[in-house]
Chain A
Amino acid sequence: MDDAKSFAVLCRECGVAGFVGAPKPPADCVVCQSRNIRSHPELFDLTIAHIDCDAFYASIEKRDHPDLLNKPVIVGGGDRGVVAAACYIARQYGVRSAMPAWQALKRCPDAVVIKPRMAHYTKVSRQIRDHMLSLTPLVQSLSIDEAFLDLSGTQKYHKCSPAEALMRLQKHIYADIGITVSIGLGPNKSLAKMASDRDKPNGFFVIGAAEAETWLAPQPVSVLFGIGKATIKKLHSAGYHSCADLVAANERHLAAVLGSQTRQIMALAKGIDQRPVTPERAAKSVSNETTFSRDLSAFTDLEAALERLCSKLAKRLKASQLTGATVTLKLKRSDHRIVTRSHSLETPTDKAHILFDVGRRLLVPETKKQLSYRLLGIGVSHLDHLTTQTLFEYNGGVDDKRNRLEAAMDQLQSKLGDRIIQSGRQFSRQQSDNADDDPA
C-alpha cells in the first residue's frame, strides 16, 4: 500500500476522467477496460494546447472521395509541382510535403495526385476554427491547419479540465467535419507544439512542466518552437545540437551566436516559454482576385472581370458587416510583376457599384500601357464596422437608386443564383463567350 500513488487518468474511449490510486501508471481504463488511455501527473492542470490537423488537404480529399480511402493520395502538383500534402499511406512510401511531385511519384508510383482546392480547404479550416472557438476565445492560428489554444480559466465554464474538453473537441471535429486532428497539451506553446507532433494521427500527447527539461535534453534544437532555419544552422556550426547543449552552454558564448535571442532560447531549451497565445487581430483587408486562363490586355475584358470581382467583394463585406475606406487594385503582368494602385475614399463603402467605379478609374491608366495581365484583384483595407450614410444614399439621391438596385440584385442572386440577374456587361460577355465555344 505504501507504493500506491495517485495517477490522473483520462480514457479516450469512454471519456471517463479521474484519479486512480495504484503503485504504477494504470494500463487500461477502470470503466471500459480500453487501453487507449492517457495518464500524466499534470494531465488536469495543463492549459495550453496545440492542435494540428492530420495530413489536412489529403484528409479532406479522402473524406470527399471515399473511394480514395485506402489509396496513397498526394495533394499538389499544380503550377509549382510540389507536394502540398501527402496522406499517411503515401508517407509510408517516403513521400513528404514540399517534395517535388516527380520525386514523390518515383517513390510512390500508385499515388493519386489531386490538384489543391484551396478555397475548399479554407472553408473546412474555418469550420474547425469555429469548433476551437467554442472552447476558448484565445485561438491563435499558425496556418490553415494548426492552432494554439489557451484554455486557462475555462474549467468552470466547461465543467471539466482542459484535457477533457480537448478530447471532446477532437471527437466533435471528427464527427462533424470528418477530419482527425492531433492534440498536444503542455504548460506552454513550445511544449504543446512538440507534444502534438509526438502522437500522430488522431493523437493526444502530454508534456508536463516537471519533466520538460529532461524530456527536451536529448532533442535536437530544431524541435523548439519559434527557432528558424537560419538560427538552427548557426547553432549547429557553433557546436550546439541538442537542447541539453543549450542548457549547459555558457550564456556569454551562446550570446555570440544568438544575440538578443539568447535568454529566450536558453529558456525554451529548459521547457520555459512565456509567449502568450495571442488570437490574431481582425482582418486588415478583404480582397478578391482571379487569374485568367489567358492573359488579358483590353480594357473592356479587364473591366468585366473587375465588375465580377467587385460584386463578390461587396457580398463578402456585406456578409461580415464591414466597410473599407481604401480600395486597392492589383494587377499581375505577364512577366509576373505585380502592380498595385490604391485610392482612399472619403466615405468607407461596402457597395459593389462604388468599388467598381473606383477600381475602374484605377484600371484605366494601367490598360493604356499596352501590357497584358495574367491576374486582376480588388481589395479594400482600413476596415471598419461604421456605416456612414451619405446624403446621396438618402431619399432618391444618386446613390440611393444604385444602392437599391444592388440590394435587389443581391437578394435575387442569393435566392436564385448569380446568373438570374446580371449587368449588361456580364450578359453580353457571356453571350460572346458562348459564341466562342460554338464550333460552328
Chain B
Amino acid sequence: MKLTIDRMSLLRPLGHVQSVVERRNTIPILANVVLRAEDGQLSLTATDMDMDIATEVGCAVATSGTATMSAHMLYDIARKLPDGAEVELTVADGHASISAGRSSFRLPTLPVEDFPAISSSDLPVNFTLTAADLRDLIDATRFAISTEETRYYLNGIYFHKAEDGNLCAVATDGHRLALTRQALPSGASQMPSVILPRKAVGELRKLLDDYDGEVSVGLSETRAEFGFGTVRLTSKLIDGTFPDYTRVIPAGNDRIMQVDAASFSAAVDRVSTISSEKSRSVKMGLKPGTLTLSASNTDASSATEELEVTYDGPEMDIGFNARYLLDIAGQVNNDIVEFALADQGSPSLVRAPGDDASLFVLMPMRV
C-alpha cells in the first residue's frame, strides 16, 4: 500500500475516527485504525467494539492495499506535521512508513484480518433528519444522562416514537429528566425504541459540530447507524428497558412561577456559593410576586437573594440541587423559565412558557 495525501486531508478524518479509540486497550488491535487505499480514496475505520466510526477521503493511491496501525500515534503525527505538508504513507513488511518533508516515522502494523469485523446486520428502519434537528434532540437531553453504572439502562438517550406520534428523546438520572419532541420523520413510523449509549451520543454530537445537512439514520433493535457526508457512525444500543418515564411527568402542577432565565441563573449561582459541598441545595421560597433563593451551610454561613417573579399561588418553600437548576435554566431556550410546582416533595416541571416540545422534570430535595 502506498499513497500520498496532504496533511490537512489526513488530519480531519483521523480526528473523527481516533476519538472512538480507547486510550487504554487490553486488545492491542483495538488501538489501531484500519486504512484502506483504493481507487483514489483512503477509508479509515476505528472501533471500541461498541461503536465504530468510518470515513473516507480522497488521496493519490499509488498502490492499493490495507493496513492497521496505532490510531492515536498516526493522529499525533499528522497533527504535529507542518501545515501544507505532503504526507507519503507506505506499508510494507509489517510496518508503515510515514514521511513528510524531512520527517519520517515508522509504525508497526497489525494484519487487517485480526481487526474485529464491523457489524453490518440489516437495519430495517431508515429515515433522515437534519443535522440541526439531531443536534437539538441531543443538546436538550444529554446533560441528564445518568452515569450510574448499576442503572445501565439510563446511561444513554432514549429515542422512541411517543404516544402522540412524535419522535421523542428522553434522558434521566433519577434526579432530573429531560424530554424533547419533534415531528416524526417520514420512514420512522416503525422505529424501535432505542437507548443510544452516552459515548456514542458524545461522538455523534462532536461529528455534528461541523456538519449541516441531512443525516441518514438506520435502526434495528440492537444497532443504530448515522451517516452524513463521508462519515458513518455505528453503535450498539443499550440492551435494557428504559423506565416508564411518563409516570413521573407531573400533570396537575398548578403553582406556576415565571422568572427571567438569566437573572435566575445568576442568582442561583451566587447563592449556591454557600450551600454545602455535599448537598448543593438551594431553597426557593415563593410568595406572590417574589422568589427568595437561599442557601445555608452547617458552619452557619448563609446567603439569600430576592427575585421579582410572576407568581400568584400560595406561599411555599421547595429545595433543589443548585447544579440541576443551573443545568436546566441553561437548557431552556427562552428568556423566561416557567416552573410548575405542586408541593415540596413532588417533582416539578420546568420549561419555556408555551413550549410543548421540550420539558424538564426536577425532583426536589428536602431542605
Residues of A at the B interface (CB closer than 8 Å) are: 343, 345-347, 354, 357-358, 361, 384, 386-392, 394-398
Contacts and interface: CB of A to CB of B under 8 A. Distances in A.
Contact of B174 (A347, A358, A384, A386): A347
B150 A345 contact: yes
B361 to A, nearest CB: 7
Given A346-B147, A391-B177, A386 B278 contact: yes
Contacts of A389: 345, 363
A397 B243 contact: yes
B174 A391 contact: yes
Interface string B147-167: 111100000000000000000
Query: Which 8 A-B pairs have CB atoms at the shortest separation, nearest pair first?
Result: A390-B174, A391-B248, A346-B148, A398-B243, A396-B247, A391-B363, A358-B150, A395-B247
Given A346-B147, A395-B248, A397-B248, A390 B366 contact: no
25 contacts: A343-B150, A346-B175, A347-B175, A354-B150, A357-B150, A358-B150, A386-B278, A386-B279, A387-B366, A388-B175, A388-B363, A388-B365, A390-B175, A391-B172, A391-B174, A391-B347, A391-B361, A392-B243, A392-B248, A394-B248, A394-B363, A395-B247, A397-B244, A397-B248, A398-B243
Nearest to B278: A384
Contacts of B174: 346-347, 390-392
A391 B174 CA distance: 5
Contacts of B149: 343, 361
B366 A386 contact: yes
Nearest to A394: B248
Nearest to A391: B248
A398 B247 CA distance: 10
B48 interface: no
Interface string B255-294: 0000000000000000000000011000000000000000
Given A346-B174, A390-B175, A392-B174, A397 B247 contact: yes
Interface in B148-198: 148-150, 172-177
B146 interface: yes
Contacts of A343: 149-150
Nearest to B361: A391
Given A358-B150, A389-B345, A398-B243, 18 more contacts: A343-B149, A346-B174, A346-B175, A357-B150, A361-B150, A386-B366, A387-B366, A388-B366, A390-B175, A390-B363, A391-B174, A391-B177, A391-B248, A391-B361, A394-B248, A394-B363, A395-B248, A396-B244
A343 B149 CA distance: 9
A394 B279 contact: no
B150 A391 contact: no
Contacts of B147: 346
Nearest to B321: A388
B66 interface: no
Nearest to B279: A386
Task: Say what secondary structure dominates the interface of chain B.
Answer: loop
A387 B148 CA distance: 18
B364 to A, nearest CB: 8
B346 interface: yes
Interface in B327-367: 345-347, 361, 363, 365-366
Contacts of B247: 394-397
Contacts of B177: 391
A396 B247 CA distance: 7
Nearest to A358: B150
Contacts of B279: 386
A40 to B, nearest CB: 42
Nearest to B346: A394
Most buried by B among A357, A361, A397: A397
Contacts of B172: 391
Nearest to A344: B148
B239 to A, nearest CB: 16
Nearest to A327: B150
A375 to B, nearest CB: 24
Contacts of A392: 174, 243, 248
Nearest to B249: A391
A346 B146 contact: yes
Contacts of B346: 394
A387 B281 CA distance: 13
Nearest to A382: B278
B35 to A, nearest CB: 36
Contacts of A391: 172, 174-177, 245, 248, 347, 361, 363
Nearest to A389: B363
B229 to A, nearest CB: 37
A344 to B, nearest CB: 9
Most B-side CB within 10 Å, residue of A388, A390, A392: A392
A395 to B, nearest CB: 5
Nearest to A387: B366
Q: Which of A386, A387, A394 has the most CB of B within 10 A?
A: A394
B365 to A, nearest CB: 6
Contacts of B366: 386-388
Contacts of B148: 345-347
A156 B175 CA distance: 49
Nearest to B147: A346
Contacts of A390: 174-175, 363
A193 B347 CA distance: 56
Contacts of B175: 346-347, 388, 390-391
B349 to A, nearest CB: 12
Contacts of A347: 148, 174-175
Interface string B229-253: 0000000000000011101100000
A419 B148 CA distance: 33
Nearest to A393: B174
A346 B363 CA distance: 14
Residue of B172, B174, B278, B346 most packed against chain A (CB within 10 A): B174
Residue from the set B150, B177, B244, B365 with the largest chain A CB neighbour count within 10 Å: B150
Contacts of A357: 150
B279 to A, nearest CB: 6
Contacts of A386: 278-279, 365-366
Contacts of A358: 150
A398 B248 CA distance: 11
Nearest to B245: A391
A387 B365 CA distance: 8
A394 B347 CA distance: 8
Contacts of A394: 247-248, 346-347, 363
A391 B244 CA distance: 11
A345 B173 CA distance: 11
B88 to A, nearest CB: 46
Contacts of A388: 175, 363, 365-366
A392 B243 CA distance: 8
